[in-house]
Amino acid sequence: MRVLTPAPPAPLPSSEAGAFAADLHAALRGTPRQISPKYFYDTAGSALFDAICELPEYYPTRTEHQILQACGRDMAAHIGTSVELIEFGAGSCVKVQALLDHLGPDLRYCPIDISGEHLALSTARLARRYPGIEICPVVADYTAALSLPDAGSRRRVGFFPGSTLGNFTPDEALQFLRHAARLLRGGALLIGVDLIKHPDRLHAAYNDRQGITAAFNKNLLQRANQELGSNFEPDQFDHSAFYNAPLQRIEMHLVSRRPQTIELQQQRYTFEQGQTLHTENSYKFTIDGLRHLAAQAGWQAGTVWTDPEELFSLHWLIAP
């Protein structure tokens, strides 16, 4: 396998730290206070998320993996040959292995992730397992403008597992799908989405007994302290996650345990007891709902793979 040096992120108006600072200031000034979940994923946050995926309560990763294992050969047949496979938010590059096991060597794999260090470690491990495949990692925010290698004669196919689409607002999800349709024109997208189910099962998945999801949530505050010099006290915030049934989404918050003042780059922000910083949404879908959303974004809906309990689904979307 030939592994290329990760490409640097596409040029941004400010550094990553500057963007984080600007977004955190905006969040703390806002009503309600909310920030993008992309800031969870520094090296520590990525490792914590990997640990979450191994928890017994956290069914999405396990169930999606089972679907990929059971249907990977069929999915690979849909993907075909002479392909550039682009994974959005690749993380540990684990799920894609169920596809790589059935794809030939005439493949370029382009994992995209915002955490460069984590991506470098993941692709190094992948290189040892698949010595015949070219890997071209890209360090970038995949929701922004992307600079990808020239695909040449290869057809581009996207891979977006994990129901990460559910972290977007409905408008953001539609915008991402439109952006992906342009990027993958003439190709396709294999996308995983979590399905609506009993609230008790959802609550357990985001409130694990070991407290790893809570640590993941609070790591955003640790990251702000380390990178931006703020003075958050993570122990003075509680993790709160619940299913908002009317909006069909899990909401994750950090709840202030007492009145406190936060200093961020010489500005002060106060939290009242019980006031929250909204850190993540995870929207849940029906199969028909996802297909309708995809059609709005210009995709043609194709095959759907799911598990026997219909907890999770993977969709093949075609970009005309």
Asked whether the beta carbons of 149 and 136 are under 8 A apart, the reply is yes
What's residue 233's pLDDT? Answer: 98
Dihedral (C-alpha) 95, 148, 39, 266: value to the nearest 10 degrees? 170
DSSP code at position 164 = G
Q: Which tokens sit at 159?
A: 């891979």
pTM of the model: 0.88
Tokens 């007994």 correspond to: 209
In the chain, which residue ranges form alpha helices assigned H by DSSP? 16-29, 43-52, 59-79, 97-100, 116-129, 170-183, 199-205, 212-228, 287-296
Do 95 and 68 form a contact (C-beta atoms < 8 A)? yes
Q: State the Cα–Cα distance between residues 212 and 134, nearest whole angstrom.
A: 35
> CA of 207: how far to CAs of 127, 239, 269, in Å?
35, 9, 28
Alpha helices (runs of H) in 90-137, residue ranges in sequence order: 97-100, 116-129
Closest C-alpha among 93, 99, 86 to residue 50 = 93
**99: its two tokens:** 């596809």
Specify whether the CB–CB gap between 122 and 91 falls below 8 A.
yes
Write out the DSSP string of 199-245: HHHHHHHTS-TT-HHHHHHHHHHHHHHHHH-----GGGEEEEEEEEG
pLDDT in tens, the chain (320 residues): 334 433 343 333 346 789 999 999 999 999 999 999 999 988 899 899 989 999 999 999 999 999 999 999 999 999 999 999 999 999 889 999 999 999 988 899 999 998 888 899 999 999 999 998 999 999 988 888 777 888 888 999 999 999 999 999 999 999 999 999 999 999 999 999 999 999 999 999 999 999 999 999 999 999 999 999 999 999 999 999 999 999 999 999 999 999 999 999 999 999 999 999 999 999 999 999 999 999 999 999 999 999 999 999 999 999 99
Q: Is 85 helix (H, G, I), strand (E, B) or coil?
A: strand
What's the pLDDT score for residue 317? Answer: 98
